């Protein structure tokens, strides 16, 4: 054999091996469709959904179904996301669709997703979770399954497991923004604020045209007392998505916590002019802003009067309820406070045990503390506030700020009880999360009850 | 041989060229106009985009990205691999601003980076690339010159790996997949590089097992002979790599890499380098030949001081201490490796790269000199004409440039000599010695001296083990000098010699491979010579003829002769050929002169056999002449005792064959006739006896050929007046001019076969009457066979006509006939001897 022949033979062998390797190792399509265009559309839809661009995702899914009406997963995603369909009807349509799917010609991922959805739709969460675990055992790096599993962990309060699962998800699929968002909140809840910030920043980097990551980041700043940065993020979120009402709320809260009432009122004027959110939402925000000075100054009767005059009592909202409940108790209006407590009790009694139920239970405990303060039962108040603190998490700015507020209540009770050491420890806990709030408390600018005024401070 | 050589070169050249191409493309890729941020990534951080360096003034530099930062994302995309980043960047154009997500320590931040043109090479990389290419070209030249030499092949392989390592592995990496590919190639080169070092040092300058007797050397030799050394040496590094990577994969641990290789591989490399340097140190200390020892020592030092700082400062420091501050001091000493290799090769003639280096040195010096002269002229000119219009003229630089061009060639000649003296002393000495030997050859006429120089001094000068000389002899070649184990004779060498002649007169024995298939004789000879240790054959020949063959062994150090050496030997062989031919001619001329002198003596002896004066029988007048065509001839005439009292017998002969054999046979026939005639004067009996004797003589003689006969004529003038008896044995019939003027041809006897042709004979004697005045002319065939310039024979008719008009006296007849023949031949050298006998029956006295 000559050198040339040897080289030709070697080249042929190498090319053949490479071709075989490419063929065997080629990425298999994860979604079953006969149309490459439909597959591209579907993939684009999934990518958009992964980044929470739901409108775009919906358009892509529609297009995919148009291109291949037999594209099972595209039809399912479309059915899941279609607006304007009532929950029951949507579930009915989805169930029909899922039942008609021919699982034999689908990929393992598609089979799993359909069976999982069927179990969920049929109200069999245990079966769904079993399917998920089995699938994950076989395909531990499937981002869709990881996302589902991480969500379950988080929902069930298994923060460490949820965090690990989401971290795995973003490692497998680094541009899955929901993963970063969830990781941000989980880290926030765990008190790992730098990690939380990092995740939100990554989310913001991937989706800079979305309001959500800015709002999430703003929430973190709001909770941690970085009000100025929070304001910047919320403004950015509103700029991106004018009707992102949560950011209007958060922005108002940031102004209030920073003590910038002018900006808060300016915001209200802007809302009146631009009408980004519903009337109810605007009114609620107006109430919060207008009642805030009285609350800070602990002018309970004025506060209740202003609420009554401003029509604020017609609205129910957690932060509003907490404020009115405290004002009612401190001003000696038992009927009002009891009405609120009854409402909470009703929520807390629900068997499903959703988010609101959990919060309502905390509110009842916290409310008991407030009642104890008003009754002069400082020990009872301490116990209640401590218990509420144990139940509260730093999840988002809402629950997180409530937790800090509850701690401030506890600190003031401890102060009133003369237990300065306990008070310091409690303030230290607040400082670890939100140094601004701790400073405000220490300077006397922020005292929930005004039980023991600082020298020079008027006693009401 | 040509195909063998081509195959050997191709086997390494193809991968070598691919490597060269890859290195070239790698460098070319760096200059492609791609949008680039100015980040140079850490090569040993797979899965993360760790910034190793930021190009000053680049977009990344201005955005505050610093070494140690990690690029997390670019343009809304969190990155998985550098190739992913390249994909993202390629969606943008140069000048665009792109968002980057960067981790600096614990802090994650988003920055805007303006993309610029790709420009990641730096001076250090340029230096490394130049080094890599210089390695490659040195290795390539050595391979092309010495494809047979295992050390040359390993050296080339090592050069290719060096090229890949220096160009690919040290390449500043950015995001492109090309970077990943190139870096991986560089890593592979790095894995094998110490193996080539070890392999090379084990066989350079001589395989260590060929001259060492210790157990380790014997073990290595045994492995080498069984073909297991190379797989073992080259197999260990990739095996270690595979095991370490597999272990890390299964343990799910991050593999720490240093320049792309795991730490375990670095330990393997250290061990290999240690063993290799050890082997080289052993060669440098104990090799039997001082020249090879010095060469090995130099390469040892070069490798030690070149590679060790590189490993410490350019590999270990950046990898372990994360500092490239000393990179320069690590890369620069690396240049010692090719320099010391090259110097050792030039100075100690270890491999054949002298020519290229000689030229490089010369042209480098020339360039420096020319630049200096040009600069000097410009400076001087400006100083002289500063401020004038002349200084501003653009013509002057052009004139200076032209002057430099004109000066270039004379300068080159001037410079070449000192360079050769300085760098190539041994080479110059060899050249000088060869020139001296050549000059001695041209002045030499003593064959022994030429032979001695060729077989003793030539191998001494070239460092060969032996040389031998074969000279043409009887259609073959006979060894006249050289070792006894060489074949004494080489036969059927015409094709062999022609082949060597066509290829310049001196070739490697392997180059006869194509001829071996054509000629089994050449195949046999080739095999004999190879077994005897012959590596080169040179032909001694002049344009006129082939003189002989010089066979040469390889060098004592098993290094092939350089092309320069071969050129010198070719020239020397040409001069030796002339000297040998001159010497041979002189010898032949001497022999010829001796022969001529001997012939002259033979002619004198032969002449003395002819009768000084013929007896004059009563009533007859006789004249005779024998004129040989050459110095000695085959014709003769003689007087014999007549059978009848008062008679007069003459015999004239013409032996076949000329020169010495003819003369000898003539003398033999002469003596036989005389000896026999004493006892048997009867012509028939005499001729029969002479025939028998000559036939026997011819049969028993090794000198006389089968065609050696004696044509004889016998004439007897009878004492009875007017009666002439004759017989003929192969001679032409004599002519008789009757007294009335008519010319007759004598009757031929029935049996007229020349003497000695057949064992039996039956010669008869014819008697004829001659009237007074009748004239008989007997002649040998040389008379009628004389040829004129037109190729016509003188012939019997012309002879008869001459005889018609000839005078009456016999001598006059002979003279007349000879004159006519001479006229006819117009001075041409006669072809054959001429014998003429004229007999006249005297008019008065012839009467009864």
Cβ separation A197–B76 shorter than 8 A: no
Out of A3, A170, A205, the one facing B101 most closely (by C-beta) is: A205
Q: Kindly report which listed range (B130-134, B164-168, B555-559, B653-657) carries the lowest average pLDDT score.
A: B555-559
Q: How much is the average pLDDT of B232-261?
A: 82
> Do B242 and B285 belong to one domain?
yes
Q: What is the pLDDT of residue A460?
A: 37
What are the chain B neighbours of A205 within 8 Å (beta carbons)?
A: 72-73, 76, 78, 99, 101, 110
Does B636 or B721 have the greater pLDDT score? B636
A36-171, which class in CATH? mainly alpha
Q: What is the pLDDT of residues B117-127, one digit of tens each?
A: 766 666 677 77
In this prediction, residue B388 has a pLDDT band, given cuts at 50, 70 and 90, of low
Specify the 3-state DSSP secondary structure of B103: strand
Percent of chain A residues past pLDDT 90, beyond the cut: 41
B288: distance to nearest CA of chain A, Å?
37
In this prediction, residue B352 has a pLDDT band, given cuts at 50, 70 and 90, of very low
Q: How much is the average pLDDT of A201-225?
A: 91
Q: What is the pLDDT of residues B298-312, one digit of tens each?
A: 888 888 888 888 778
Identity of the highest mean pLDDT range in A377-391, B317-331, B780-794: A377-391
Domain assignment of residue B380, given as a range = 356-423
Would B756 be classed as within a structural domain? yes
> For residue B356, is pLDDT > 70?
no
> For residue B840, is pLDDT > 80?
yes
Q: How much is the average pLDDT of B222-235?
A: 86
| Mean pLDDT, all residues of chain A | 86
Would B596 be classed as within a structural domain? no
> Do B107 and B138 belong to one domain?
no
Cβ separation B108–A202 shorter than 8 A: yes
Cα distance between residue A423 and residue A416, in whole Å: 9
> Do B90 and B139 belong to one domain?
no
Phi, psi at A2, each rounded to 5°: -80, 170
- Chain B contacts to A (CB-CB under 8 A): 6-7, 10-11, 14, 72-73, 76-80, 99, 101, 106, 108-110
A207: distance to nearest CA of chain B, Å?
6
> Do B713 and B803 belong to one domain?
yes
Would B75 be classed as within a structural domain? yes
Q: Kindly report which listed range (A330-344, A427-441, B315-329) carries the lowest average pLDDT score.
A: B315-329
Would B289 be classed as within a structural domain? yes
> For residue B81, is pLDDT > 60?
yes
Cβ–Cβ contacts within 10 Å for residue A219, how many? 29
Task: Say whether pTM exceeds 0.90.
Answer: no
Q: Is the ipTM of this complex over 0.90?
A: no
> For residue B83, is pLDDT > 80?
no
With CA atoms as reference, the chain A residue closest to B5 would be A3
> Do B226 and B280 belong to one domain?
yes
Percent of chain B residues past pLDDT 90, beyond the cut: 7
Q: How much is the average pLDDT of B796-825?
A: 89
Q: What is the pLDDT of residues B461-502, one digit of tens each?
A: 887 888 999 888 877 888 888 888 888 888 767 777 887 887
Cβ separation A7–B14 shorter than 8 A: yes
> Do B434 and B409 belong to one domain?
no
Q: Is A206 on the interface with B (CB under 8 A)?
A: yes
What are the chain B neighbours of A207 within 8 Å (beta carbons)?
A: 76
- The 3-class SS string of chain A reads CCHHHHHHHHHHHHHHHHHHHHHHHCCCCCCCCCCHHHHHHHHHHHHHHHCCCHHHHHHHHHHHHHHCCCCHHHHHHHHHHCCCCCHHHHHHHHHHHHHHCCHHHCCHHHHHHHHHHHHHHCCCHHHHHHHHHHHHHHCCCCHHHHHHHHHHHHHCCCHHHHHHHHHHHHHHCCCCHHHHHHHHHHHHHCCCHHHHHHHHHHHHHHCCCCHHHHHHHHHHHHHCCCHHHHHHHHHHHHHHCCCCHHHHHHHHHHHHHHCCHHHHHHHHHHHHHHCCCCHHHHHHHHHHHHHHHHHHCCCHHHHHHHHHHCCHHHCCCHHHHHHHHHHHHHHCCHHHHHHHHHHHHHHHCCCCCCHHHHHHHHHHHHHHHHHHHHCCCHHHHHHHHHHHHHHCCCCHHHHHHHHHHHHHHHHHHHHHCCCHHHHHHHHHHHHHHCHHHHHHHHHCCCCCCCCCCCCCCCCC
Q: What is the pLDDT of residue A435?
A: 94
Percent of chain A residues past pLDDT 70, beyond the cut: 92
Out of B10, B14, B110, the one facing A205 most closely (by C-beta) is: B110
Q: Is A197 on the interface with B (CB under 8 A)?
A: yes
What are the chain B neighbours of A170 within 8 Å (beta carbons)?
A: 78
Would B597 be classed as within a structural domain? no
> Do B339 and B438 belong to one domain?
no
The residues that bridge with B555 in the sheet, in sequence order, are B464
What are the chain B neighbours of A4 within 8 Å (beta carbons)?
A: 10
A-B contacts (CB, under 8 Å): 41
> For residue A224, is pLDDT > 90?
yes
Q: What is the pLDDT of residue A262?
A: 92
Longest dimension (CA), chain A: 107
> Do B408 and B442 belong to one domain?
no
Q: What is the pLDDT of residues B445-468, one digit of tens each?
A: 777 888 888 888 888 888 788 899
How far is the CA of A307 from the CAs of A245, A310, A342, A402, in angstroms?
22, 5, 20, 21
Does A384 or B643 have the greater pLDDT score? A384
What are the chain B neighbours of A204 within 8 Å (beta carbons)?
A: 110
> Do B417 and B437 belong to one domain?
no
User: Pairing state of beta strands B70-74 and B723-729?
Assistant: unpaired
> For residue B847, is pLDDT > 60?
no
Count of domains forming chain B = 5
Cα distance between residue A1 and residue B427, in whole Å: 41
> Do B436 and B560 belong to one domain?
yes
> For residue B348, is pLDDT > 70?
no
> For residue B364, is pLDDT > 90?
no
Cβ–Cβ contacts within 10 Å for residue B463, how many? 17
Would B519 be classed as within a structural domain? yes
> For residue A42, is pLDDT > 80?
yes
In this prediction, residue B790 has a pLDDT band, given cuts at 50, 70 and 90, of confident
Length of chain B: 848
Q: What is the pLDDT of residue A202?
A: 92
Q: What is the pLDDT of residue A437?
A: 92
Interface test with chain A among B12, B70, B78, B97, by most A beta carbons within 10 Å: B78
* Burial class for B7, CB neighbours closer than 10 Å (0-12, 13-18, 19+): middle
Q: What is the pLDDT of residue B274?
A: 86
Does B702 or B312 have the greater pLDDT score? B312
Cβ–Cβ contacts within 10 Å for residue A380, how many? 16
Q: What is the pLDDT of residue A4?
A: 58
Q: Answer whether A154's CB lies under 8 Å from A183's CB.
A: no
Q: What is the pLDDT of residue B366?
A: 66
Out of B78, B108, B110, the one facing A174 most closely (by C-beta) is: B78
Cβ separation B78–A175 shorter than 8 A: yes
| Mean pLDDT, all residues of chain B | 80
Q: What is the pLDDT of residue A459?
A: 36
Cβ separation A201–B110 shorter than 8 A: yes
> Do B418 and B458 belong to one domain?
no
**In chain A, domain spans:** 36-171
Does B102 or B259 have the greater pLDDT score? B102
Would B122 be classed as within a structural domain? no
Listed residues B423, B452, B481: the one ending a domain: B423
The number of CA neighbours under 13 Å toward the Cβ of B131 is: 27
Q: How much is the average pLDDT of A261-268?
A: 92
What are the chain B neighbours of A194 within 8 Å (beta carbons)?
A: 106
Listed residues B586, B604, B621: the one ending a domain: B586
B72: distance to nearest CA of chain A, Å?
9
Q: What is the pLDDT of residue B468?
A: 92
Interface test with chain B among A52, A205, A220, by most B beta carbons within 10 Å: A205
Cβ separation B77–A175 shorter than 8 A: yes
Q: How much is the average pLDDT of B802-808?
A: 87
User: Pairing state of beta strands B834-841 and B620-627?
Assistant: antiparallel
> Do B331 and B451 belong to one domain?
no
> For residue B1, is pLDDT > 50?
no
Cα distance between residue B742 and residue B800, in whole Å: 9
The residues that bridge with B841 in the sheet, in sequence order, are B620
Q: Is A217 on the interface with B (CB under 8 A)?
A: no
Cβ–Cβ contacts within 10 Å for residue A401, how many? 20
Closest CA to B99 of B66, B65, B57: B65
């Amino acid at each position: 054999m000559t050198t040339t022949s040897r080289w030709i033979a070697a080249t042929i062998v190498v090319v053949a091996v490479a071709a075989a390797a490419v063929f065997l190792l080629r990425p298999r399509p994860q979604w079953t469709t006969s149309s490459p265009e439909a597959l591209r559309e579907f993939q684009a839809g999934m990518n958009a959904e992964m980044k929470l661009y739901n409108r775009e995702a919906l358009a892509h899914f529609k297009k995919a179904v148009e291109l291949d009406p037999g594209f099972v997963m595209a039809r399912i995603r479309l059915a899941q996301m279609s607006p304007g369909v009532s929950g029951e009807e949507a579930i009915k349509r989805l169930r029909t669709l899922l039942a008609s799917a021919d699982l034999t010609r689908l990929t393992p991922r598609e089979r799993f997703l359909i069976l999982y959805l069927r179990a969920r739709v049929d109200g069999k969460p245990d079966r769904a979770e079993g399917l998920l675990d089995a699938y994950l055992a076989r395909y531990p790096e499937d981002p869709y399954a990881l996302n589902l599993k991480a969500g379950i962990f988080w929902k069930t309060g298994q923060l460490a497991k949820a965090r690990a699962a989401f971290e795995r998800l973003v490692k497998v699929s680094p541009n899955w923004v929901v993963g970063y968002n969830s990781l941000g909140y989980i880290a926030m809840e765990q008190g790992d604020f730098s990690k939380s910030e990092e995740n939100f920043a990554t989310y913001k980097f991937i989706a800079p045209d979305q309001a959500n990551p800015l709002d999430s980041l703003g929430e973190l700043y709001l909770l941690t007392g970085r009000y100025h940065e929070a304001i910047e993020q919320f403004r950015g979120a509103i700029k991106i998505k004018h009707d992102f009402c949560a950011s209007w709320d958060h922005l108002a809260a940031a102004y209030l916590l920073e003590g910038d009432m002018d900006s808060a009122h300016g915001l209200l004027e802007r809302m009146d002019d631009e009408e980004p959110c519903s009337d109810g939402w605007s009114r609620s925000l107006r109430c919060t802003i207008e009642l805030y000075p009285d609350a800070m100054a602990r002018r309970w009767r004025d506060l209740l009067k202003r609420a009554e005059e401003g029509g604020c009592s017609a609205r129910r909202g957690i932060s509003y309820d907490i404020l009115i409940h405290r004002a009612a108790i401190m001003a000696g209006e038992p009927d009002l406070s009891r009405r609120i407590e009854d409402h909470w009790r009703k929520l807390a009694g629900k068997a499903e045990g959703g988010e609101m139920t959990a919060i309502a239970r905390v509110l009842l405990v916290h409310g008991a503390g407030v009642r104890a303060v008003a009754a002069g039962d400082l020990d009872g108040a301490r116990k209640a506030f401590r218990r509420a603190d144990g139940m509260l998490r730093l999840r988002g700015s809402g629950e997180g700020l409530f937790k800090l507020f509850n701690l401030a209540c506890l600190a003031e009770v401890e102060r009133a009880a003369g237990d300065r050491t306990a008070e310091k420890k409690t303030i230290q806990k607040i400082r670890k999360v939100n140094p601004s709030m701790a400073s405000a408390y220490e300077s006397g600018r922020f005292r929930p009850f005004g039980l023991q005024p600082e020298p020079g401070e008027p006693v009401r | 041989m040509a195909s063998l050589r081509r195959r050997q070169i191709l086997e390494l050249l193809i991968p070598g060229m691919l490597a060269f191409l890859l290195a070239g493309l790698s460098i070319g890729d760096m200059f492609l106009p791609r949008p680039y941020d100015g980040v140079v990534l850490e090569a040993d951080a797979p899965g993360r985009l760790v910034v190793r360096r930021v190009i000053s003034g680049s977009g990344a530099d201005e955005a505050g990205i610093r070494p140690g930062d990690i690029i997390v994302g670019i343009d809304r995309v969190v990155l998985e691999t550098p190739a992913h980043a390249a994909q993202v960047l390629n969606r943008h154009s140069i000048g665009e601003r792109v968002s980057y997500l960067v981790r600096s320590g614990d802090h994650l931040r988003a920055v805007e980076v303006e993309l610029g043109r790709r420009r990641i090479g730096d001076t250090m990389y340029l230096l490394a690339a130049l080094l890599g290419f210089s390695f490659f070209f040195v290795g390539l030249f050595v391979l092309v010159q010495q494809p047979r030499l295992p050390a040359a092949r390993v050296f080339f392989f090592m050069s290719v790996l060096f090229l890949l390592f220096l160009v690919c592995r040290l390449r500043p990496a950015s995001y492109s997949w090309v970077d990943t590919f190139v870096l991986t190639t560089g890593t592979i080169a790095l894995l094998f590089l110490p193996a080539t070092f070890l392999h090379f040092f084990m066989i350079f300058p001589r395989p260590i097992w060929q001259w060492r007797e210790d157990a380790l050397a014997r073990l290595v030799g045994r492995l080498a002979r069984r073909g297991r050394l190379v797989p073992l040496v080259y197999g260990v590094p990739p095996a270690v790599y595979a095991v370490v990577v597999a272990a890390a994969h299964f343990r799910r641990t991050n593999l720490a890499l240093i320049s792309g290789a795991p730490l375990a591989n670095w330990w393997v490399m250290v061990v290999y380098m240690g063993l290799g340097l050890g082997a080289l140190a052993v060669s440098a200390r104990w090799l039997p030949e001082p020249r090879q020892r010095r060469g090995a020592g130099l390469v040892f030092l070069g490798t030690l001081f070149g590679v060790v700082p590189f490993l410490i400062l350019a590999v270990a420091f950046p990898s372990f201490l994360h500092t490239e501050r000393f990179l320069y001091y690590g890369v620069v000493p690396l240049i010692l490796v090719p320099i010391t290799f090259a110097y050792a090769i030039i100075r100690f003639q270890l491999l054949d790269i002298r020519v290229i280096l000689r030229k490089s040195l010369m042209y480098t010096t020339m360039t420096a000199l020319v630049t200096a002269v040009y600069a000097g002229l410009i400076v001087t000119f400006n100083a002289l004409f500063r401020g004038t219009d002349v200084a501003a003229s653009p013509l002057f630089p052009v004139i200076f440039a032209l002057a430099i061009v004109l000066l270039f060639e004379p300068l080159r000649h001037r410079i070449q000599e000192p360079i050769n003296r300085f760098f190539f002393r041994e080479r110059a000495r060899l050249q000088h010695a060869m020139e001296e030997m050549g000059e001695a050859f041209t002045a030499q006429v003593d064959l022994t001296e030429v032979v001695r120089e060729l077989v003793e001094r030539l191998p001494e000068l070239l460092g060969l083990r032996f040389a031998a000389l074969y000279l043409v002899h009887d259609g073959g070649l006979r060894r006249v000098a050289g070792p006894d184990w060489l074949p004494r004779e080489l036969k059927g060498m015409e094709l062999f010699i022609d082949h060597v002649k066509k290829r310049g007169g001196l070739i490697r024995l392997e180059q006869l491979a194509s001829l071996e298939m054509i000629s089994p004789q050449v195949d046999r000879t080739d095999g004999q010579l190879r077994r005897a240790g012959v590596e080169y054959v040179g032909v001694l020949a002049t344009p006129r003829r082939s003189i002989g063959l010089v066979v040469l062994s390889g060098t004592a150090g098993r290094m092939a002769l350089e092309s320069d050496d071969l050129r010198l030997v070719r020239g020397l062989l040409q001069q030796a050929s002339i000297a040998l031919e001159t010497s041979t001619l002189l010898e032949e001329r001497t022999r010829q002169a001796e022969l001529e002198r001997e012939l002259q003596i033979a002619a004198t002896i032969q002449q003395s056999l002819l009768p000084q004066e013929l007896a004059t029988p009563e009533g007859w007048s006789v004249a005779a002449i024998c004129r040989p065509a050459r110095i000695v001839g085959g014709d003769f005439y003689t007087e014999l005792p007549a059978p009848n009292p008062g008679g007069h017998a003459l015999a004239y002969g013409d032996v076949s064959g000329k020169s010495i054999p003819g003369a000898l046979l003539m003398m033999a026939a002469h003596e036989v006739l005389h000896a026999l005639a004493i006892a048997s004067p009867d012509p028939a009996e005499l001729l029969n006896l002479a025939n028998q004797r000559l036939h026997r003589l011819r049969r028993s003689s090794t000198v006389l050929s089968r065609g050696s006969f004696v044509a004889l004529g016998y004439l007897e003038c009878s004492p009875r007046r007017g009666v002439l008896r004759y017989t003929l044995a192969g001679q032409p019939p004599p002519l008789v001019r009757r007294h009335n003027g008519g010319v007759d041809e004598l009757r031929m006897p029935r049996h007229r076969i020349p003497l000695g042709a057949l064992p039996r004979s039956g010669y008869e004697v014819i008697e004829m009457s001659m009237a007074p005045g009748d004239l008989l002319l007997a002649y040998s065939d040389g008379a009628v066979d004389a040829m004129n310039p037109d190729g016509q024979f003188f012939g019997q008719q012309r002879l008869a006509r001459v005889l018609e008009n000839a005078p009456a006296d016999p001598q006059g007849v002979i003279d007349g006939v000879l004159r006519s023949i001479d006229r006819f031949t117009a001075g041409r050298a006669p072809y054959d001897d001429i014998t003429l006998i004229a007999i006249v029956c005297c008019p008065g006295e012839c009467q009864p």
